[in-house]
Amino acid sequence: MSSIAPLQAQLASEHRVLLAYSGGLDSSVLLHQLVLLRSQRPGLQLRAVHIHHGLSSLADSWVAHCRQQCVQWQVPLEVVCVDVDARQGGIEAAARTARYHAFSELLLEDETLLTAQHLDDQSETLLLALKRGSGPAGLAAMPQQHWLGAHRHLRPLLEQSRQQLEAWAHQHHLTWIEDDSNSDARYDRNFLRLDVLPVLNARWPNFSRAVARSAALCGEQEQLLDELLSESLASLVDACGTLAIAPMLEMSDARRYALLRRWIAGQKGSMPSRDALRRLWQEVACSREDAEPRLRLGHYEVRRFRDRLYWLPLMQSLAGYQLAWPDAEQPLTLPDGLGLLRLNNRGVALRRPGPEEPLSVRFQAQGSFYIVGRAGRRPLKKLWQELAIPPWQRERTPLIFYGDRLIAAAGVFVTRDGAPDSPETTWNIDWCRENNKMEIGDEGQTDSGAAAKL
C-alpha cells in the first residue's frame, strides 16, 4: 500500500465522513490517508470521533494524544464518554455496543461512518464466529460496507494487512497509541491475535487472505438467500412487523429458520443461536392456543397473539400502579413512557365525576363489567379477549376510575358507570401516547410462565 488510490476509489461518492478514531495504529493510518485525500478533494468534510470507554487508567492520555493529532491535521474531533456494562455479553461485546450507539447518535445527515478494521481483524472475527458455532451470516464476518441505520458504514482498510499498515505508518513517521489491554490474552480476540494467528500465518502465509475469501463467499450466499426469501418474508410480515405463523407450519426447518432469522434481523434484533430459534418455534409459535408464551432474546422478547409473532422491547409491569388525578384541568403524566391523559374534545366522552368520586388511573382491575354497546356483564379478561387486546397491552392500558368504580379503559371501552348523561355533564379524556408503537407488559417468564433468557 504505497498510495491513497484505493481509498480515493472507495470514497469517490462520499462528501461527509466521520472516522472512528481510537488513536491506535489502524485508525491513525486511516486518518492520515483521509487528510491526504482531503488535500486533493477540498470539498471532503472530515470529522473524527474518539470513544472514551473509561476502562483504562491511560484513557485520558489517549484522549490527549487524539486531540493533539487532530489539531495538527486540522480535523474536528468529538470525544464521547460511554458506560460499558460487562453484564451485556462481556466487556468486548458491551464496549462495541456502546461505541456503535455513540456513532449512531453523532452521525450527521448524509454522513458516512468509517472504521479501520483490517485483514487480520477479519480473520479474528471469522474464528470467533466459528467458536460460537455461527452459520453463514456469522461466518461472513465483517462486510466492507453496510448500513448503520440510515448511514453507510465503510471499512476501507479491510483488504490491508497489519504489516502493510505498519509499513505506511513508519514511512510517514506516524505516532500512535498502544492499548495495554491488547496484550491481555484473557480476551478472546487478543488470544487469537497473540497466540493463534501467528502460528496459522507461519504455517500458511496466505491464511488471512484465504479467510477473507471464505468470509466474502459466505456473505454472497447470505445475500443470495436474502434475495430468494424476500418475497416469501414480505408475504408473512404485516405493516406492524408481526409475523404470520400458519403459512410456516408446512415449511422445512431450514426454510423456516432462515425466515425467522431474517424477520429478527428486520426488527434490528441480535442474531439468535440455532437452539434459540428452535425454542422460539416450539415454545412460542407452536404453544397451545390458550397459552401466553414469551421468549426473551436479549433486551427484547418474542410473543404470540392470534397466530402471529410479535417482537417487543422489555418494559416494566404497571399492574401495581395507582395514580391520583386531583386536578383534571392539568394533564396526567403516565409511567414508563406511556404518554399522558388530558381533557380534550377529541377524547372519549365520559360523564363528569361527582364531588365524592376522586379521579384516578390504574392498570389493573378485578370483576365483571357492563360496557357501552354490549349486552351483559363480562369479566375484564373476557372483554380484553373479545376486543382483541394483546396480553402485553392489557396491563399498559390506563384504566380510569371514579372512586372505586371502573369508568373506562382509555381508547378501548367505556363502562355503563361512565356513560355521559347529557352534553352538559360530559367531558372528554384523551390518551396522548408518546409513540404509536405497541406497548408491552412485564418481563415475566415463558410458556406457561417460565422465561427464557438467552
Q: What are the tens digits of pLDDT across the range 351-386?
A: 999 889 999 999 999 999 999 988 889 999 899 988
- Residue 447 lies inside a defined structural domain of this protein: no
| Structural domain for 235, as ranges | 215-313
Could you list the beta-strand ranges (E) of 180-331: 243-244, 294-297, 300-305, 308-313, 322-324
For residues 213-220, average pLDDT: 93
Query: Over the stretch 138-147, which tens digit does the pLDDT of each residue have?
Result: 888 899 998 8
* pLDDT tens track for 149-201: 889 999 999 999 999 999 999 999 999 998 877 888 888 989 999 999 999 99
The answer to whether residue 438 sits within a structural domain is: no
CATH number for the domain spanning 29: value is: 3.40.50.620
Do 287 and 373 lie in one domain? The reply is no
Other Cβ atoms closer than 10 A to 315: 19
State mean pLDDT over 42-68. 94
Res 75: pLDDT: 98
* Residue 219 annotated as part of some ligand binding site: no
Q: What is the mean pLDDT of residues 70-84?
A: 95
Average pLDDT of the chain, as a whole number: 89
Is 181 annotated for ligand binding?
A: no
Domain-located, residue 441? no
Examine residue 444 and state whether it is found in any structural domain, yes or no.
Answer: no
90: left (phi over 0), alpha (psi -120 to 50) or beta: left
> Average of pLDDT values for 236-262?
95
Query: For residues 443 and 112, what is the distance between their CA atoms, to the nearest angstrom?
Result: 37
Stated as kind and residue range, the H or E segment containing 154 is strand 151-154
**Is residue 420 classed as helix, strand or coil in its secondary structure?**
coil
174, 73 in Cβ contact below 8 A? no
Residue 78 has pLDDT above 60, yes or no: yes
Q: How many C-beta neighbours within 10 Å does residue 219 have?
A: 19
Residue 271's pLDDT is 80
For residues 72 and 42, state if they share a domain: yes
> 331 and 277 in one domain?
no
> What's the rounded mean pLDDT across residues 34-41?
96
Kindly state the average pLDDT of the residues 221-250. Answer: 95
Least-confidence region, from 23-37, 250-264, 311-325: 311-325
Residues 231 and 195 occupy one common structural domain? no
What is the per-residue pLDDT across 304-316, written as a single tens digit (0 to 9) for each? 999 999 999 988 8
- Residue 134, pLDDT score: 83
What is the mean predicted confidence (pLDDT) over 239-260? 95
Q: Residue 332: beta bridge partners?
A: 341
The reply, when asked if residue 26 is annotated as ligand binding, is yes
Is residue 200 included in any domain, yes or no? yes
Residues in contact with 355: Cβ distance below 8 Å, sequence separation at least 6, in sequence order: none
Residue 437 lies in a domain: no
Per-residue cell: 219 = 456473505
Same-domain check for residues 197 and 219: no
427 is a domain residue:
yes
| Total tally of structural domains belonging to the chain | 3
Q: Residue 346 has what pLDDT?
A: 82
**23 and 144 part of one domain:** yes
Query: Could you say which of 204, 235, 268 is where a domain stops?
Result: 204
In the listed set 178, 204, 230, which residue is the last one of a domain according to the structure? 204
Q: What is the pTM of this model?
A: 0.72
Please identify, among 313, 343, 369, the residue that sits at the C-terminal boundary of a domain.
Answer: 313
Higher pLDDT, 387 or 315: 387
- On whether both 27 and 133 belong to a single domain, the answer is yes
Instruction: Answer yes or no: do 76 and 225 share one domain.
Output: no
Do residue 87 and residue 181 come from a single domain?
Answer: yes
Q: Do 197 and 227 belong to one domain?
A: no
Residues 36 and 179 in one domain: yes
Span 289-298, average pLDDT: 85
- 157 in the same domain as 75: yes
Q: How confident is the model at residue 92 (pLDDT cuts 50, 70, 90)?
A: confident
C-alpha cell belonging to residue 422: 347529557
Q: Give the CATH number for residue 233.
A: 1.20.59.20
What pLDDT, on the 0 to 100 scale, is given for residue 247? Answer: 96
- State the average pLDDT over residues 106-115: 96
Say what the pLDDT of residue 89 is.
Answer: 65
Which three three-digit cell numbers place residue 413?
371501552
